[in-house]
């Protein structure tokens, strides 16, 4: 019987330079899509997948993130006084129970692999999830839940994967596929940010992982990889051929938005806005009006 995946690490210690100057004082993960911060989408997805312990790897200046998950007694009292029960309900969805959430500091931004390694003492000999909140995935069944179900059959380590245009492969971890089984692929190699001409496929890793505890051991003595950073991809790749349950890519069903980039964030804002009934009509007619003005200008 496989151990259940009940812990997730959220590495949020990056500098978020693509969103400067905003990220000078606002953590990227607190930026909002419609009315929820990016991190809330990740937490909701994690809960749906059965995650019970949430481990944040943070850095200086991320205090707003800890406050977000704290109770807000003054605000709550004011809402009670005004009888705003609907808003109180919304607030409740952000509360974390004591002991459910942990914060660990990454003292230097040495890379994603290093950030995950910083949480090593909170993970025992058990599989765990890693979620990057700036990858937001709109899906009927939440992406991590899809992966947990697939993982229960395979074991090993599993990464969320999606096809990207060949010329974009140099921005991702790329899978070298051994066997393609449709939604699942077994992997014989992984390479972080390859040159386009060296990319073994166009199947890219995005920010959802279920990892065997061996990956943490591999990170114990990991050196720097692509971009001079300690890469999670390299530690996962080390698992291949080691006699364990192997490494799998999982083609999830859903649409992924790269909210770590401005274009992706704007696209997600429009898509999530259109998905909200109370906003849809206004937003749609606004978008149409933009189209008319563009055509008129041509």
Binding status of residue 27 toward ligand UTP by CB under 6 A: no
Binding status of residue 39 toward ligand UTP by CB under 6 A: no
Q: Among 5, 9, 16, 209, which residue interacts with ligand UTP (rule: CB under 6 A)? A: 16
Binding pattern for the stretch 86-125 against ligand UTP, x by CB under 6 A and - elsewhere: --------------------x--xxxx-xx----------
Binding status of residue 17 toward ligand UTP by CB under 6 A: yes
Phi, psi of 127 (to 5 degrees): -70, 155
Binding pattern for the stretch 206-245 against ligand UTP, x by CB under 6 A and - elsewhere: ----------------------------------------
Helices (H), 62-177: 63-68, 73-81, 85-92, 112-117, 143-154
Q: What is d(CA 222, CA 230) in angstroms, rounded to the nearest whole number?
A: 7
Taking the least distance from each CB to ligand UTP, the nearer of 112 and 147 is: 112
Taking the least distance from each CB to ligand UTP, the nearer of 67 and 242 is: 67
Taking the least distance from each CB to ligand UTP, the nearer of 79 and 268 is: 268
> Count of alpha carbons within 13 Å of 14, Cβ hemisphere only?
20
Q: What is d(CA 119, CA 94) in angstroms, rounded to the nearest whole number?
A: 22
Binding status of residue 15 toward ligand UTP by CB under 6 A: yes
Binding status of residue 13 toward ligand UTP by CB under 6 A: yes
Angle among Cα 8, 10, 11 to the nearest 5 degrees reads 140
Q: What is d(CA 85, CA 75) in angstroms, rounded to the nearest whole number?
A: 12
Q: How far is the CB of 22 from ligand UTP (least distance, A)?
A: 11
Taking the least distance from each CB to ligand UTP, the nearer of 62 and 184 is: 62
Taking the least distance from each CB to ligand UTP, the nearer of 17 and 25 is: 17
- Residues numbered 131 to 190 that lie near ligand UTP (CB under 6 A) are 132, 134
Phi, psi of 250 (to 5 degrees): -125, 115
**Given the structure tokens 């060949």, which residue do they identify?**
166
- Whose CA is closest to 252, among 157, 166, 185? 185
Assign 3-state DSSP to the chain and report helix, strand, coil percentages, each to 5: 40, 25, 35
Taking the least distance from each CB to ligand UTP, the nearer of 15 and 77 is: 15
* Residues in contact with ligand UTP by the rule CB under 6 A: 11-18, 28, 57, 106, 109-112, 114-115, 132, 134, 260
């Amino acid at each position: 019987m496989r151990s259940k995946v009940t812990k997730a690490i959220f590495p949020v210690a990056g500098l978020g330079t693509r969103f400067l100057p905003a990220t000078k004082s606002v953590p990227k993960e607190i930026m909002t899509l419609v009315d929820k911060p990016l991190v809330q989408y990740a937490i909701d997805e994690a809960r749906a997948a059965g995650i019970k312990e949430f481990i944040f790897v943070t850095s200086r200046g991320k205090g707003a993130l800890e406050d977000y998950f704290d109770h807000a007694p003054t605000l709550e009292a004011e809402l009670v006084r005004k009888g705003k029960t609907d808003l109180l309900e919304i607030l409740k969805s952000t509360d974390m129970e004591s002991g459910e959430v942990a914060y660990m500091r990454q003292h230097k931004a040495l890379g994603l692999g290093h950030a995950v390694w910083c949480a090593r003492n909170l993970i025992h000999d058990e599989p765990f999830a890693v979620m990057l909140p700036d990858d937001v995935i709109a899906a009927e069944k939440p992406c991590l839940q899809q992966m947990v179900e697939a993982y229960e059959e395979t074991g090993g380590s599993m990464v969320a994967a999606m096809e990207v245009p060949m010329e974009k492969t140099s921005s991702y971890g790329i899978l070298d596929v051994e066997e393609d089984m449709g939604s699942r692929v077994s992997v014989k190699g992984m390479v972080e940010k390859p040159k386009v001409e060296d990319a073994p496929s166009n199947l890219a890793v995005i920010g959802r992982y279920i990892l065997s505890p061996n990956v943490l051991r591999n990170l114990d003595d990991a050196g720097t990889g692509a971009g001079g950073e300690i890469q999670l991809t390299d530690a996962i790749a080390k698992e291949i051929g080691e006699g364990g349950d192997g490494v799998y890519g999982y083609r999830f069903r859903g649409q992924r938005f790269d909210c770590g980039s401005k274009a992706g964030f704007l696209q997600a804002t429009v898509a999530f806005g259109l998905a909200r009934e109370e906003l849809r009509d206004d937003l749609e007619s606004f978008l149409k009006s933009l189209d008319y003005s563009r055509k008129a200008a041509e």
